[in-house]
Amino acid sequence: MSNEQNHARATAPVSARIVLSSEDIDRVITRIAHEIIEANKGTADLVLLGIPSRGFPLAQRLAQRIAATEPGLDARAITGQLDVTMYRDDLRHSTTRTPVPTRLPAGGIDDKVVVLVDDVLYSGRTIRAALDAIADLGRPRIVRLAVLVDRGHRELPIRADHVGKNLPTATTEKVRVHLSEVDGENNNEVVIEAHA
Ligand SMILES: O=P(O)(O)OC[C@H]1O[C@H](OP(=O)(O)OP(=O)(O)O)[C@H](O)[C@@H]1O
Ligand SMILES: O=c1cc[nH]c(=O)[nH]1
């Protein structure tokens, strides 16, 4: 991560604007759920793996939306959580991150169509770490990527298959995603903060 990017993470914002409301997020989840089903030609072999912190509740919301299209499909049976902490390439530089458990659905990920889910796609380094974490857990047939927001500024050759919203941003800005499961009741929005 560049010095400018680190700066935007560390300083107080000078302004903030809401770019996705709770209703917008809800609509985006519905659309991406349908895109996932369409790309997969159904729900067979689907596994959604959310990256903590906020990728996991997003994966849960997507799985619920997907399961609602198919009687008998249990959202929990196709949802997991993938911790990437120990696979990050900035471990030596970043402040301490506490690993959280990785939890895979009972059927594992071998030969599955795994959809990685995260809130923000930026440098791509988190997703690079996620791909390494997956390789240590099994061999999916396909790995796809769904993100709520793609804010650009990639540092690696990584792209998302499903994007809630493309947000052109400056590196001095920060995208903050608030989801009620992590951030408290009724706190669902995406905000762009400007940093001096
Ligand atoms: O493409 P990248 O440059 O890797 O950035 C994207 C990642 O950054 C954020 O996570 P963060 O590390 O801030 O942790 P958090 O999810 O716990 O807030 C976000 O949730 C993504 O996982
Ligand atoms: O702006 C950013 C960059 C990385 N991760 C975020 O959550 N927001």
- Give me the residue spans of the domains in the chain: 23-170
Residues near ligand 2 (Cβ within 6 A): 120, 122, 151, 174-175
Q: What is the largest CA-CA distance in the chain?
A: 51
Which tokens hold the place of 79? Answer: 């949802």
pLDDT in tens, 92-132: 787 678 899 999 999 999 999 999 999 999 999 999 999 99
Three-state SS at 81:
strand
User: Which atom of ligand 1 approaches the CA of 123 most closely?
Assistant: 3
Which ligand does the CA of 124 lie closest to?
1
Is the predicted pLDDT of residue 160 greater than 70, yes or no? yes
Is the predicted pLDDT of residue 10 greater than 80, yes or no? no
Nearest residue to 153 (alpha-carbon basis) of 188, 184, 126, 113: 126
Greater model confidence, 171 or 91: 171
Contact 79, 141 (CB under 8 A): no
pTM (2 decimals)? Answer: 0.94
Tell me what percent of the residues of the chain surpass a pLDDT of 90: 87
pLDDT classification of 5: cutoffs 50, 70, 90: low
Residue 45: CB atoms within 10 Å: 16
pLDDT in tens, 137-150: 999 999 999 999 99
Which ligand does the CA of 55 lie closest to?
1
pLDDT classification of 2: cutoffs 50, 70, 90: low
Is the predicted pLDDT of residue 8 greater than 60, yes or no? no
Give the CB-side neighbour count of residue 38, counting CA atoms within 13 A. 8
Greater model confidence, 2 or 20: 20
Give me the mean pLDDT over the 35-55 stretch: 98
Which tokens hold the place of 117? Answer: 């889910």
| Beta bridge partners of residue 143, listed in sequence order | 114
Residue nearest to atom 21 of ligand 1 (CA): 120
ipTM: 0.96
- The single-letter code of the amino acid at 5 is Q
Please state, rounded to an integer, the average pLDDT across all residues of the chain.
94
Which class is 23-170 in CATH?
alpha beta
Alpha helices in the chain (DSSP H): 3-10, 22-39, 55-67, 125-135, 180-183
pLDDT in tens, 69-84: 999 999 999 999 999 9
pLDDT reported for residue 91: 83
Q: For the chain, how big is the Rg over CA atoms in Å?
A: 16
pLDDT reported for residue 96: 78
What is the distance in A from the centroid of ligand 2 to the CA of 6? 10
Is the predicted pLDDT of residue 6 greater than 80, yes or no? no
Is the predicted pLDDT of residue 172 greater than 90, yes or no? yes
pLDDT reported for residue 111: 98
Which helix (H) or strand (E) element contains residue 190?
Answer: strand 189-195
